[in-house]
Amino acid sequence: EVPIMDGSSAVYCELLMQAGLQRQSAPRRRIRILEAIEIEDGPKRARLSPSDDKFLTLNARIEYDDSLIGVQEMALKLAPGMFARDLAFARTYGFARDVDMLRSMGLARGGSLENAVVVDNGEVMNPEGLRSEDEFVRHKMLDAVGDMMLAGAPIAGIYEAVQPGHSINNLLVRKLLDTPSAWCWETDTADATRIDARRSAAV
């Protein structure tokens, strides 16, 4: 894995923005969702469905019995600039009660208050506190953006999830790629006729 830094994507996002943009010789392509696919795993659920624009729209809901988090929901259309402004700063998080269990499994060995938000019985243990009250659900959406990119290109569609996480997102991407009728390649130069033709061919 890449270095965890502060548990968010802020540093990487800043460095990429400093590097700037360079025009490429080939048109950018994306994955257009043509039909809905869904994965369920106990209380966890993740779904991709078609949209009418070229962006990824995210809708996520999390629920914990800890009073600090409770229920958090957020919806966001990933238009240019939105990731950097609304998601990149959100840090990964965990619960103090789970630390010993995770370390016994060989996980979270490098975890600390420097690179994660740690919650303990309704309180944030990090001295600096939260970066936003809904930092938890924002980080889940940040994770989803990265996980969906494992499909091989940006996705034009709607992502909806309840209790999302890397594991169910991974299953969702695998199911997408294993379902050729559910998606097609699309480029920025593609007009509506070409898109409709691809949709018809995929059905």
Domain boundaries, the chain: 10-202
pLDDT of residue 112: 83
pLDDT of residue 3: 83
In words, the CATH class of domain 10-202 is alpha beta
pLDDT tens track, the chain, 203 positions: 678 899 999 999 999 999 999 999 999 999 999 999 999 999 999 999 999 999 999 999 999 999 999 999 999 999 999 999 999 999 999 898 877 666 666 666 667 889 999 999 999 999 999 999 999 999 999 999 999 999 999 999 999 999 999 999 999 999 999 999 999 999 987 544 444 445 555 54
Residue 35 to residue 49: CA distance in whole angstroms: 6
pLDDT of residue 99: 72
- Which of 166, 167, 180, 197 is an active site residue? 166
Q: Is 166 an active-site residue?
A: yes
Q: Is 61 helix (H, G, I), strand (E, B) or coil?
A: strand
Residue 100 to residue 79: CA distance in whole angstroms: 40
Q: Say if residues 62 and 164 touch (Cβ distance below 8 Å).
A: yes
pLDDT of residue 103: 64
User: Model's pTM, two decimal places?
Assistant: 0.88
pLDDT of residue 98: 78
According to DSSP, the residues that pair with 48 across neighbouring strands are 37, 159
